[in-house]
A and B are shown apart, each in its own frame.
Chain A
Amino acid sequence: MPSKKDILDLYFMDSRYKLIDIAAFLDRMDRHEGEPDFRHHGFQKALEAMLQPGNKPRAQAVLEALSDHSEKPIPKATIQGAFGACRD
């Protein structure tokens, strides 16, 4: 199996690039006018989940933070697509 250094060699630059892109996205949200919708709150929750995942792997914690946790089927679909974050 690869060592931590091997993983850094493979993925550090790509992850660095994605991390800066997330920071720039948050700056962009701050800079522009208007009110954010539920996706922004979902993103913030997911960031917190990544930093404090508890006993779960971070990727799982992020995905769960962005998921609908209700349990019953809904009566009817109002859209066909998905947003990527759950409405509060």
Chain B
Amino acid sequence: MKYIEPHAHMVSRTTDDYQAMAMAGCEIICEPAFWAGFDRSSPQGFYDYYRQLTEYEPARAQKFGIKHYCWLCINPKEAEDAGFAREVMAIIPEFMDCPTVLGIGEIGLNKNTVSELAIFEEHVAIAQKYDTPILIHTPHLEDKLKGTKLIIDALKNAQIDPSRIIIDHVEEHTAGLVLDEGFWAGMTLYPESKCTPGRAIDILENFGMENIWMNSACDWGISDPLAVAKCAVEMKKRQHSTEIVQKIIYDNPVKFLSQSKNFTA
């Protein structure tokens, strides 16, 4: 079954993972800019990272017949130093015309600080200026509920079209907040800290099949680049039709991502 992996950090994965994903039916991977596991020491480090996202990874994916797209930003974990973050954000316009850039992401909050929120709002302004969709990271664990509420408030203040924004890493306590306001919701299948396949399917059954996708967010941590494909199998075990599975793992991502001028399925 063909599918889209709408959130994967392939810079942290081996080429074997591309091969396995291609064999599992993955046709498109979208890679948001994120934290490298350590704080980068200079804006130049981000310049090199953006080149990796826009040049090297698309070529690596193409060897397996997979299209690779990316989102650009400075992630919230490195946004605590607002001066540094603004230096990095000044680089982003240079890359916005690259043919595989979808928009701004994954921006958001980490520890729900004043500085993170200011940099989040400035990223939103960049997306508005370039008329792109936005992919948003919500904080981990105990910080998620508060962070999701702060993010939604900030987006309302920016008067931005919610249908062009996906708020990611939703769980049972935040999915309703996001979907009820007209945003798209992303569910992340990640060990320990996010959703299991069983819970993700519960969320689909409770909140509906519209404006929602699932992703692995595979990165340098213990994570599974095949999580979406495995969850599709679990959906079949739960007696969801092939059409519904296809909607969640392919059609819905196409619908959201097609709002970016650079995306083609």
Contact = CB atoms under 8 A, between A and B. Distances in A.
Contacts, number: 83
A14 to B, nearest CB: 8
Contact of A80 (B111, B173, B199): B111
Main secondary structure of the interface of B (DSSP, over half): helix
A73 interface: yes
Interface string A14-35: 0000000000000000000000
Interface in B103-154: 110-117, 139-146, 149-150
Interface string B202-229: 1001100000000000000000000000
A73 B173 contact: no
Interface string A44-88: 000000000000010110011011111101111111111111100
B80 interface: yes
A37 interface: no
Nearest to A80: B77
B110 A80 contact: yes
Nearest to A63: B173
B198 interface: yes
Contact of A81 (B112, B140, B144, B198): B140
B173 A76 contact: no
A76 B172 contact: no
Given A69-B146, A79-B111, A59 B238 contact: no
Interface in B143-177: 143-146, 149-150, 171-173
B109 to A, nearest CB: 8
A1 interface: yes
Interface residues of B, number: 32
Contacts of A79: 111
Contacts of A81: 140
A42 B142 CA distance: 10
Contact of B117 (A42, A73, A84, A86): A73
Given A57-B172, A59-B202, A74 B111 contact: yes
A77 B172 CA distance: 26
Nearest to B239: A2
Contact of B145 (A2, A10, A11, A69): A69
A3 B203 CA distance: 17
Interface of A: 1-2, 6, 10-11, 42, 57, 59-60, 63-64, 66-71, 73-86
Q: 3 closest A-B pairs (Cβ-Cβ)? A: A77-B111, A82-B141, A67-B145
19 contacts: A1-B239, A2-B238, A10-B238, A11-B198, A59-B202, A63-B145, A63-B172, A67-B142, A67-B173, A68-B112, A68-B143, A70-B146, A73-B113, A74-B112, A76-B114, A77-B111, A79-B111, A81-B140, A82-B140
